[in-house]
Structure 1
Amino acid sequence: MAQHVVVIGAVALGPKAAARFKRLEPDSRVTLVDRDALFSYGGCGIPFYVSGEVPDVDALRKTAFHMVRDEEFFRKTKGVDVRARTEAVAIDRAAKTVTLRHLPSKAEEVLPYDKLVLGTGSSPIVLPIPGANLPGVFTVNNLGAAQSIRELAASGKVGSAVVVGAGFIGLEMAVSLSDLWGIQTTVIEFRDQLLPGVSGPNIARMAMHHMREKGVEFRLAEQVQGFEAGADGRVARVVTNAGAVDADLVIMAVGVRPNDELARACGLDVHERGGIIVDKTMRTSDPDIFAGGDCVVLEHAVSKGATYLPMGSMANRQGRVIGTNLAGGHATFPPVVGSWCVKLFDLAAAGAGLTLAAAQNAGFDALCVHAGLVDRAHFYPEKGLMSLDLVVERGSGRVLGMQGLAVNGDALVGKVDVVAALLPSAPTAFDLGNVEMAYSPPFSAALDILNVLGNAADNILTGRNAGIHVDEFAALLHDGTDRIVLDCREAKGTEALVEKYPGIWINIPQGDLAEHLGALPRDKQIVLICSTGARSYEAFITLAHNGFENIVSVEGGITAVTAAGLDV
């Protein structure tokens, strides 16, 4: 029997759910409501519109076959009635009605529904500090804001900009402002690293080093306290607990909150930290109301806890599930692992699953193993460095997450996608070391970097190696403790370090080590280092077999030290 479905929110989830349902039930009626004039667009493309890589706003609204997704498009090609510039102000679950308000006229209408979909999205967090409403201070929440930011950047009136927040949007906006428009850009982050919550410190440090080389400044572990105006009344300075930074343009990108007010007001179950609670069919606590996208919380496949992941890819897949179930289907949306990727100038960062900190907070006895190698066969002329962190559980060896940074972003995302697909089945480091990967020298190494990473973790878990990360290495190199750094590379290229650290940094190539064991002290810690960690692992085996006990290997080697920009 034909039914009337009302969908509130028309950016990502709403249009997908509406179109899927209409394909399954062409005789039913769908009303799609959104408060903005511009809707159904690729919100994740906004930083690339600001940078100029996406030429105009309509490019974010077009289909793959170049049709703009406006009211007429939905009416003619999807059979969906769109109410733009219309806000849903109340839901009466008993009467099964939604009260709508047309924003330009303020006229209200009570619209009945058989089924209701909430795709209300999220809102950017605005810091409750002085000057947050000054002209020139923006959040990146819709196409209108994106247009204003791009127009200002292109005007030539912006000499300096500050981005508050070093998450995905903040870093992408920093790249956009600095790379195309040549604006001196500073990123201020309250926490002590980039990509907090989704990346460990290793990968974050490498990403920051690269962005600094491209001209972006960073001020970490600083709290923004207010924005000050200049003589023209526009923002001119950002004040933090550590001083002030000049800024003709400010982007606040400190996160988003789920728009769950409608759900709360009508009595639906909402998580204590925000976000509508849904089951695997994307139903709310009312069986006639579905919800998805940025306004819901989901189950994490690894931690099993509630997680909030405002991502366009997630919303689109959930929209299809909802559309199917609106038509009487039984589709389910599985627990998530939080896959992500971001482009940072010439590098890409990506990850899936838990970071080390998140794993420990979830109660896992976890450790992080690092590997850095080229992403193609070592003899193939075109290749790039890939750095990976693998988070594993001690004892079981279960893989809990992976994060990485690479020159070739497509290659990195491919590795992350493999791990993301495996994570729900609780793979181990041993499994990763043996996972089957496609091989040809232009695309990968015979022993893929994922296999190498899994094997490296398995060696550490089973006691065949003991590793430290590059930040630990840099710290212990200068802590005054009497130890030896044994450089296992060939002599060429090691001379400067041997000279810089006389009596501490020594060079014995790994192939010659067995013949020079007598030159090494047994009463000091020996720290092994090579280019990537492979030869230092071989040296570890040699020393351990010959009775040396206090030995560790620097994971990722000199390659990782250099990528992180550490001064050794």
Structure 2
Amino acid sequence: MSLRVVVVGGVALGPKAACRIKRVAPDAQVTLVDASKLISYGGCGIPYYVSGDVSEHQQLQETSFHMVRDEEFFKSCKDFTVHTETRALSIDRKAKTVLVQAQDGTQSTLPYDKLVLGTGSTPRQLPIPGRELDNVFTVATLDEAIRIKEQVAGGKVSSAVIVGAGFIGLEMAESFADMWGIQTTVVEVADQIMPGFLSPVMATIAHKHLEEHDVTVHTSEMVQSIEGENGKVTRVHTTKRTIDADLVILAVGVIPNDTLAREAGLLCSDRGGIIVSKTMQTSDPDIYAGGDCVLTENMVTGKLGYYPLGSLANRQGRIIGTNVAGGRETFDGALGSFIIKLFDYAFAGTGLSLPVALREGFDAFSTHVIMSDHSHFYPDRDMVSLEIVVEHHTGRVLGLQGACQNGDSVKGRVDALAAILKFRPTLRDVSNMEMAYAPPFGSAMDVLNAAANAAENILNGRAVPVQPLEFAKLWENRVQENLLCIDTREWGNAEPFATRYPEFWKNIPQGQIRNRLDEIPRDKKIVLLCNTGGRSYESQVILRHAGFMEPVNLQGGMGFIKQIGFDPSQDD
């Protein structure tokens, strides 16, 4: 008798697992059920459908050879049965059946030898008045995306409020403001955008970039209620202001859909999410689960975490398919690698940001570098800003984040580190990492190597840094701090600052500093700086050798400072 498999969930993990099962075990009888009409679509592409970059929603369902992945496609091309608009109600583990209900209310049972749960996630709900009004959306399904697109494309929306500054919220903000010219406001309860993903410095860069493109961002602010007229949203009330809105997106995160598993007695976390083994089996070895409904081990911390990522769901789906068909593949865990496009910039990361590393108990620090993405003498280069996170006493690299106008450039560096992060690399490993090099594509000493080198200099006490946001605070309090900035660039770069603030800003080019040591006071707090941090680091080495032990070097230099929107030459 052939293997009977029931798959619950038809967006990412479910279809991937079902297709893999049929490739490995062609005689298996596979049935997939999903509560929605639209299945097997690229959910991460929804903001780009709303923006118009993807013109038709069917494109999100298409294969690379332009066939729509619907019931007929899976039956004729993949040889398994799909029931859409069919909800799984319960699992009888003893009888090994799943009770399902069709849209017309008809119920039936599906027997299984192996069961796969890809039940996904549900948008987190805000317990506030007005969330039931028309034009208040979450962005959970393609069906909702179609309704949102109808509103904005029909010219019915002039102002929108997005609650939550995570991935979906910010991608939707770009979608509304860039393509449709909608007055867009983002409200985030945390003190920065993308909390838990971006470090404060990277979040500041992203925040500034959003506002440069006419997206208003309010952090440290909570939405209290949504107001409407005639059943339709008109404004949003926060703890600090009232904002007009024709449309509201609630994007405050998602929670795992584990109810079906929990009611069946499968082991689940108290905080939500199905617990699975490395082979993706639940506490019942005949039931597998993956994607947004499960918890996954973080390969840096070793702890269980929640990673609702489409790429992860697809990789887990393949492993489940292999194992259901008799294999023994394992899924090692996740790093939470991400990338997001915000107008002209891409922001990417892998592993732990510094705030997360500290919260997890690591004695960690981070450092910043900024370099061109390919050789400085080759035209059309973009600057890559990287922040590398390191454990103090071991030199173990815990994570990396970056920003660049060339998304491929920052993605390449993040992916390179992600490939080795589970092996507990040290700074020496990353410093000596071999990166493909030719002048149009990189530098002889890649920016990723340079980030590790900068961190190693700090770890070994050869460099004493000040980070960009710390420098901004020092400058704000420059009188009380008795501050003196020594600009190691040439006069053409330093002139606007040294002329405006002669008491606090002095120009000594790096090539002259050995011969001008007597001009440097020993009773002031000295900050050395240049465009990227390289020349100022060289100057710091010279000063320390000459007995100046206190000067600090601005990490990332003026390049990073400008990216966070801080310009001392314009300061009042």
Tell me if TM exceeds 0.5: yes
Contact 1:200/1:355 (CA < 8 Å) preserved in 2? yes
CA drift at 1:436 = 0.3
Contact 1:117/1:290 (CA < 8 Å) preserved in 2? yes
Residue 516 of structure 2 is aligned to residue 516 of structure 1: yes
Partner of 1:101: 101
User: Of 393, 417, 420, which residue of structure 1 is paired with 2:418?
Assistant: 420
Partner of 1:473: 471
* Structure-2-length-normalised TM-score: 0.98
Partners of 2:528 and 2:434 lie apart in 1 by 31
Partners of 1:527 and 1:188 lie apart in 2 by 36
Partners of 2:162 and 2:109 lie apart in 1 by 42
Partner of 1:233: 231
Partner of 1:209: 208
Partners of 2:476 and 2:57 lie apart in 1 by 52
CA drift at 1:128 = 0.8
CA drift at 1:429 = 1.3
In structure 2, the residue corresponding to 1:550 is in which secondary structure? coil
The amino acid that maps onto 1:438 is A
In structure 1, the residue corresponding to 2:399 is in which secondary structure? strand
In structure 1, the residue corresponding to 2:16 is in which secondary structure? helix
Partner of 2:300: 302
Partner of 2:59: 59
* Structure-1-length-normalised TM-score: 0.99
CA drift at 1:481 = 1.4
In structure 2, the residue corresponding to 1:229 is in which secondary structure? strand
Partner of 1:497: 497
Deviation string 1:212-257 (CA, Å, 9 cap, x unpaired) is 1111110001001110013x43111111000111111111111000
CA drift at 1:466 = 1.0
Contact 1:524/1:550 (CA < 8 Å) preserved in 2? no
Contact 2:481/2:525 (CA < 8 Å) preserved in 1? no
Partners of 2:179 and 2:516 lie apart in 1 by 54
Partners of 1:175 and 1:22 lie apart in 2 by 40
The amino acid that maps onto 1:526 is I
Partners of 1:450 and 1:111 lie apart in 2 by 52
Partner of 1:384: 382
Partners of 1:215 and 1:192 lie apart in 2 by 20
1:83-232 matches, within 5 Å, as 83-103=83-103, 105-230=104-229, 232=230
Partners of 1:93 and 1:402 lie apart in 2 by 43
In structure 1, the residue corresponding to 2:491 is in which secondary structure? coil
Partner of 1:34: 34
CA drift at 1:361 = 1.4
**Which sections of structure 1, spanning at least 5 residues, go unmatched?**
none
Contact 2:474/2:483 (CA < 8 Å) preserved in 1? no
CA drift at 1:385 = 1.1
Contact 1:371/1:387 (CA < 8 Å) preserved in 2? yes
CA drift at 1:357 = 1.1
Deviation string 1:303-329 (CA, Å, 9 cap, x unpaired) is 111110001100111011000000110
Contact 1:2/1:25 (CA < 8 Å) preserved in 2? no
Residue 395 of structure 2 is aligned to residue 397 of structure 1: yes
User: Of 329, 336, 339, which residue of structure 2 is paired with 1:338?
Assistant: 336
Partner of 2:443: 445
1:267-306 matches, within 5 Å, as 267-306=265-304
Contact 1:163/1:253 (CA < 8 Å) preserved in 2? yes
Partners of 2:420 and 2:508 lie apart in 1 by 40
Partner of 1:542: 542
The amino acid that maps onto 2:117 is L
1:451-470 matches, within 5 Å, as 451-470=449-468
**Which sections of structure 2, spanning at least 5 residues, go unmatched?**
none
CA drift at 1:446 = 1.0
1:358-373 matches, within 5 Å, as 358-373=356-371
In structure 2, the residue corresponding to 1:492 is in which secondary structure? helix
The amino acid that maps onto 1:132 is R
In structure 2, the residue corresponding to 1:239 is in which secondary structure? strand
Between the two proteins, the alignment pairs up a number of residues equal to 566
Deviation string 1:388-427 (CA, Å, 9 cap, x unpaired) is 1100000111000001110100111111000101101111
Deviation string 1:249-278 (CA, Å, 9 cap, x unpaired) is 111111000000011101101012111000
Partner of 2:345: 347
Partners of 2:207 and 2:356 lie apart in 1 by 21
Partner of 2:249: 251
CA drift at 1:27 = 1.3
Contact 2:258/2:293 (CA < 8 Å) preserved in 1? yes
Partner of 2:372: 374
Deviation string 1:28-51 (CA, Å, 9 cap, x unpaired) is 100100000001100000000000
Partners of 1:29 and 1:515 lie apart in 2 by 82
CA drift at 1:363 = 1.2
Partners of 1:185 and 1:336 lie apart in 2 by 33
CA drift at 1:5 = 0.3
Partners of 1:264 and 1:158 lie apart in 2 by 41
The amino acid that maps onto 1:176 is S
Contact 1:87/1:102 (CA < 8 Å) preserved in 2? yes
The amino acid that maps onto 2:375 is A
CA drift at 1:428 = 1.0
User: Of 311, 314, 320, which residue of structure 1 is paired with 2:312?
Assistant: 314
Identity across matched positions, percent: 53
Partners of 2:543 and 2:270 lie apart in 1 by 54
CA drift at 1:493 = 2.3
Contact 2:257/2:293 (CA < 8 Å) preserved in 1? yes
Partners of 2:223 and 2:263 lie apart in 1 by 33
Root mean square deviation, CA, Å: 0.8
In structure 2, the residue corresponding to 1:516 is in which secondary structure? helix
Deviation string 1:258-301 (CA, Å, 9 cap, x unpaired) is 00001110110101211100010000000000000000001000
Partners of 1:48 and 1:199 lie apart in 2 by 22
Partner of 1:558: 558
Contact 1:189/1:222 (CA < 8 Å) preserved in 2? yes
In structure 1, the residue corresponding to 2:101 is in which secondary structure? strand
In structure 1, the residue corresponding to 2:317 is in which secondary structure? helix
The amino acid that maps onto 2:73 is F
CA drift at 1:478 = 1.7
Partner of 2:69: 69
In structure 2, the residue corresponding to 1:75 is in which secondary structure? helix
Deviation string 1:182-211 (CA, Å, 9 cap, x unpaired) is 101111111011111011011111111111
